[in-house]
Amino acid sequence: MSAQCQILVIDDDERLRSLISSYLTQEGFNVSVTGDSEEAFLIIYEKDPHLIILDINLPGANGLTICRKLRHTGIVTPIIMLTARGDDSDRIYGLEIGADDYLTKPFNPRELVARIRAVLRRQSIAGFSLFETESIVYKFGRFVLDLKKQSLAKNGEDIHISGAEFALLRLLISEVGKPISRDQLVARMTSKEHHPDQRGIDMLVFRLRKRLDDRETLGGMIRTLRGVGYIFVADVSTEKGA
């Protein structure tokens, strides 16, 4: 599970960041670190990590504020929150606003790894239930979207894509050539685990365009309809998968 799995550690304690990064790297994870909340958002939008380890007591925008902002913008990346306090109110509030787990400092690094793997397993199971399990493959340009495998490939090579990005691309392709409003996308993307808003949809489209090397031009695959929403215009063929 850890192979090619990207973890972002957000903590202003440089020594702890280094220790966590070293331990997770030894366990086979790819790790990015920052102690700055503004830089954290840049890394999240650029690298789209599989999981975020988030200190609650950051200077400036604290961990609770960051967690709440991520969830309000439709980003459902799993979050494990860290705190030096054992205050139940912080723990409960963190879980209420969308954190997936909670760990109080000091902690055993082995426990952190166990919690990371548990959260990723839960996300994998929940994410799979969001999509159809039929064996259908969509082909468009140099890309292949496999519903059964929940994978996106370009020229035969897999491309990392988050569950939310996969769901949005699948919706756009299923309505190829038809305009879809942001409200419709919000409604169809909403589930027990996922509560996007229009800004969240726009950010997912931005990230999808990067995955697809797509530009917002007349020749692009995902085109913006001002005041309406989006339309997917690539030539799409459909076939049964393995």
Average pLDDT across the chain, whole number: 82
Q: What is the mean pLDDT of residues 189-213?
A: 77
pLDDT of 218 higher than 70: no
pLDDT score at 143: 93
Q: What is the mean pLDDT of residues 31-35?
A: 94
CA distance 197 to 185: 9
pLDDT score at 195: 62
pLDDT of 23 higher than 80: yes
Angle between the 37-47 and 198-211 helix axes, to the nearest 10 degrees? 50
Q: What is the pLDDT of residues 155-199, one digit of tens each?
A: 998 888 877 888 889 889 988 999 999 888 887 776 545 566 788
Q: What is the mean pLDDT of residues 100-104?
A: 86
pLDDT band at 54 (very low <50, low <70, confident <90, very high): very high
Of 32-46, 63-77, 81-95, which range is least confident?
A: 81-95
Q: What is the pLDDT of residues 227-240, one digit of tens each?
A: 889 999 989 998 87
First to last CA, the chain: 23
Domains of the chain: 6-129 (3.40.50.2300), 136-240 (1.10.10.10)
Q: Which two tokens stand for residue 200?
A: 């969240």
CA distance 60 to 192: 31
pLDDT of 205 higher than 60: yes
Q: Which of 133, 105, 128, 92 is nearest to 13 (CA)?
A: 105
Q: What is the mean pLDDT of residues 68-82?
A: 82
pLDDT score at 204: 86
Q: What is the mean pLDDT of residues 2-20?
A: 86
pLDDT of 15 higher than 70: yes
pLDDT score at 192: 46
